[in-house]
Amino acid sequence: MSGPGFGYVLAADVADALALGAGPGAAFLAGGTDLMQLWKIGAKCPARVIDISRLPLAEIALADGRLALGATARLSDVAAHPDVARDYPLLAEAILATASGQVRNMATVGGALLQRTRCAYFRTEGMACNKRAPGSGCGALAGESRQAALFGASEACVATHPSDLAVAMAALDAEVEILGPAGSRRLALTDLYRRPGEAPEHDTVLAPGELIAGVTVRHVTRLAPRSTYLKVRDRASFEFAVVSVAAALRLEDGRIVEARLAAGGVAPLPWRLGASAAALVGRAPNAATFAIAADLAVEGARALAENGFKIELLRRAVLRALETVGGPA
């Protein structure tokens, strides 16, 4: 890897990191698993790298049904934590479906959520990609589109979001805490991400100098016994999802009283399947009910020349996930 020179600074504390990160061309570094990939392909060339890996932001704590994860907590530590494995197995499953063990040992919660949406055109310098070179066009619209989005895309970009953890957290209504020069704020995880619209170079609503401090998942331990993360990919490891589904149900007296569904690999952000989840509530967990939810999951899907197969794949993935969580306890 070669390119322009850059500065490196180890942040002394959070305030120091925020002050340093507010400057032009700054990039935060924790695990570096996504930043280094982007750097190697020329999609990001920071003038200054601020190392936040030693800041006190690696919390993994469960109290009163509230799970708090610091942004620099390692994915492998989160998945192996006994409280997460017991009460938030959906998160652990999503993490264990991510990349490889070596990557999970380095990758962090914040980094996993902030992975760039991408496709073959984004990964290749010189090709038409509005994310890399605004105004250059979207090569996938008329070119290689097998991995392209079915929902939420635009004429400017059809790339998909790659994070498994983000899909599981979206299903569980996670919140992110954001720190920046102007103070702190909290957002629903799904509100962190932007649809591409006419400005696909901006994946999130983070302002310059802002960073994710942590993630909170509140009071969903009741969903733990009936939850699953299903990831369909081209090979068994170190591969982004073609389609993924995070599903969780709660049953009482033979009826579904609560349902959570989200999909990955199909949109430029974790895609909540709200209509499908709503259709499940009040019904018996049977084949007919699950088929209704699966059909609703693909309503409004818009395929390109090469990704039409993902519509049926998503429908079947939703069906299989619901069969997994809705069967006998």
Fold of 227-326: Enolase-like; domain 1 (3.30.390)
Q: With beta carbons less than 8 A apart as the criterion, state whether 58 and 72 touch.
A: yes
Q: Which neighbouring-strand residues pair with 231?
A: 244
How does pLDDT run across 239-295, given as a tens digit for each residue?
999 999 999 999 999 999 999 999 999 999 999 999 999 999 999 999 999 999 999
Nearest Cα to 306, choosing from 159, 140, 139, 152?
Answer: 140
Nearby residues of 32 by Cβ (< 8 Å), 6 or more positions away: 106, 111
| pLDDT of the residue at 107 | 98
Write out the two tokens for 46.
């920071």
| pLDDT of the residue at 328 | 84
pTM: 0.97
Q: How far apart are CA 150 and CA 301, in angstroms?
A: 5
Element holding 281 (H helix, E strand): none
| pLDDT of the residue at 149 | 98
Sign of the dihedral through C-alpha 103, 105, 111, 113? positive
